[in-house]
Amino acid sequence: MRILILGGSWFVGRAVVADAIGRGWEVTLFNRGRSAGAPEGPLHVRGDWERAADLARLAAHGPWDVVVDVAGAVPAVVRNVARALASAAERYVFMSTISVYRDWPYQPVDESSPLWDGDPDLDPGTRRWDPDAYGPLKVGCELAIRREFGDRALFIRPHVILGPGEYVGRLPWWLNRISRGGHVLAPAPPGRAIQPVDVRDVARFTLDMIATNATGPFNVAAPIGRDTFGGLLHACREVTGSTAEFVWADEAWLAQQGVREWTEIPLWRTLPTAWAMNTDKARQAGLTCRSLQETAAATWHWLQGGGVPVAHERFAEHGISVEREAELVAACL
């Protein structure tokens, strides 16, 4: 299998590259070479996917059986990439997201759920992270790929991804906080279902689907109801060897205090439908998801080994300040 991976050095891409190398596939990487995380071994073509000349130079390194676009997020840019590679690659695989679904997190979603309106030619003119624009932009990217590759396209739509290399700042925040010990503010109930997926399982499933010539969209997440918020925090306590005590605070009370879901308390979402992504299609195709315990252990191991997340604007959004947490904990005790 000759595979071209666009990106490959931050988080999801790194896991995809590692898995592809492990399968003995012939890997070409394309990125600007700014980040140090790309594994050794593959042919590394340096360039910027926003520059037509770089894309033309890249295409000349083909052909490939498949191109995996891990981090594309701007429809007009993805369109240009897909056009430049249309005759150099048989198939196009795109790392999409649960955010393409218009009704998420307010309704359960499966692959037939309605998507946001997307424009395959849109360039919003900024590369800044915008949570409201993210879903529609990813839909635009999917549409651009469909236009160039038709049904030779595979769309992986993961829910929240955790694991070694995570730069969004969710699991690293919990691990670091819990490792410091003391009273840790936790959003009740501990039995709240969650369904993040390990980055290595996303990578494995993506490559398995490539190997079987699968096309179309696949939702990717842990099984609904298997994991809980309490399970995640206990896993963090166990793998960090911490003696932290969780102070479970009523969710309505936390909301009254103005505590922000999702970011200030990472991964906390009160809507049960936020964690109701149907993944039957992927599971029937072979998706398996390791335990949260394994994800927490590997991420802690990575952090302890000097792993540093790629600097990203989203990282700073996550986590509650020490002072504010102490105030809220004091009010609960």
What does the DSSP assignment read for 168-214? S-SHHHHHHHHHH-SEEEEESPTT-EE--EEHHHHHHHHHHHHHTT-
- What are the angstrom distances between the C-alpha of 86 and each of 144, 230, 250, 272? 12, 47, 53, 41
Identify which of residues 99 and 244 has a Cβ nearer to ligand NAP in the complex: 99
Applying CB under 6 A, which of residues 20, 25, 42, 49 lies at the interface with ligand NAP? 49
Element (H, E) at 38: none
Token pair, residue 266, equals 């990472």
Identify which of residues 41 and 189 has a Cβ nearer to ligand NAP in the complex: 41
Its sign, for the CA torsion 227, 232, 233, 237, is positive
Q: Is residue 14 involved in binding ligand NAP (CB under 6 A)?
A: yes
**Does residue 189 have a cis peptide bond before it, meaning omega lies within 30 degrees of 0?**
yes
Number of residues that bind ligand NAP (CB under 6 A): 24
Applying CB under 6 A, which of residues 31, 80, 240, 263 lies at the interface with ligand NAP? 31
Shortest separation between residue 189's beta carbon and ligand NAP, angstroms: 23
Give Cα 19 distance to the centre of its chain: 16
97 half-sphere exposure, CB direction, 13 A CA radius:
23
Q: Which stretch binds ligand NAP (CB under 6 A): 42-50, 110-118, 145-153, 294-302?
A: 42-50
Identify which of residues 31 and 249 has a Cβ nearer to ligand NAP in the complex: 31
232 contacts: CB under 8 Å, gap ≥ 6: 174, 194, 196, 267, 292, 296
Identify which of residues 32 and 102 has a Cβ nearer to ligand NAP in the complex: 32
Applying CB under 6 A, which of residues 32, 152, 226, 234 lies at the interface with ligand NAP? 32
Q: By beta-carbon distance, which residue lies closest to ligand NAP?
A: 13
Neighbours of 112 (CB within 10 A): 8
Q: Contact, 55 vs 48, CB < 8 A?
A: no
Shortest separation between residue 86's beta carbon and ligand NAP, angstroms: 18
Q: Is residue 296 involved in binding ligand NAP (CB under 6 A)?
A: no
Identify which of residues 311 and 333 has a Cβ nearer to ligand NAP in the complex: 311
Q: Is residue 169 involved in binding ligand NAP (CB under 6 A)?
A: no
Q: Is residue 7 involved in binding ligand NAP (CB under 6 A)?
A: yes
Shortest separation between residue 213's beta carbon and ligand NAP, angstroms: 22
Shortest separation between residue 162's beta carbon and ligand NAP, angstroms: 7
Interface residues with ligand NAP (CB under 6 A) are 7-14, 31-35, 48-50, 70-71, 95, 97, 158, 160-161, 168
